[in-house]
Amino acid sequence: MHFSEDDLREALKRKDPGEGFTQRVMARVNQAQPGNKTVLPQKPNGTFLSWLTHRPAWAMALAAMLLLAFGIGGYQYSEYRHAEEMRIARAKQQQLQQEAERARDQAIMALEIARAKMNHVLQHAQLQAEPTDKIRRERL
């Protein structure tokens, strides 16, 4: 196919869009769906970091706040650990004390039983010996 210069000039010459062209375009724009919008990918880190790099005072403040928060957190954790260790030690000490008191009570009770039984046996032996002595004395 061959186009002459006149053909091209005819084809590319300015044409009148006609009446209501603006209204038609605006109507097409209004008809466009909101879901058809294309979401542009955002840079997740770059934005905040670039924001920070442009504001060094804010960056310093944030760093200081983070340090303070970690410091307070760490101190509180160490305090908690210390309190926990103290509580465990106190509980152990209390348990030992209770065991010792139980052992002492048991020892006292055991010696009381020993005393009672020893005296019981001695009494019985004495009671048995007494009639023999009486008889012996009567014989004499």
Partner 1 sequence: MNLATRKLTLILIAAVLGFASLRSYGQDAKLQLGNLDKLSQKAARVTDVTLDGSLLQFAVNLIEKADDNDKDVEQLQSIIKNLKGIYIKSFEFDEASQYSKADIDAIRSQLSSPRWSKIVQSVEKRRNEYDEIYVLKNGDKVGGVVILVAEARELTVVNLVGDVPMDKVASLERHLAPGEKHSDKPKQKKESGHDQE
Number of Cβ within a 10 Å radius of residue 35: 5
Query: 53 or 126: whose CB is closer to partner 1?
Result: 126
Query: 78 or 123: whose CB is closer to partner 1?
Result: 123
Min. distance of Cβ 140 from partner 1 in angstroms? 25
Min. distance of Cβ 135 from partner 1 in angstroms? 17
Whole-number Å distance between alpha carbons of 125 and 119: 10
> Site residues (CB under 8 A) for partner 1?
96, 99-101, 103-125, 127-128
Query: 83 or 109: whose CB is closer to partner 1?
Result: 109
What is the end-to-end Cα distance of the chain in Å, rounded? 172
Cα distances from 76 to residues 7, 62, 71, 72, in angstroms, run 88, 21, 8, 6
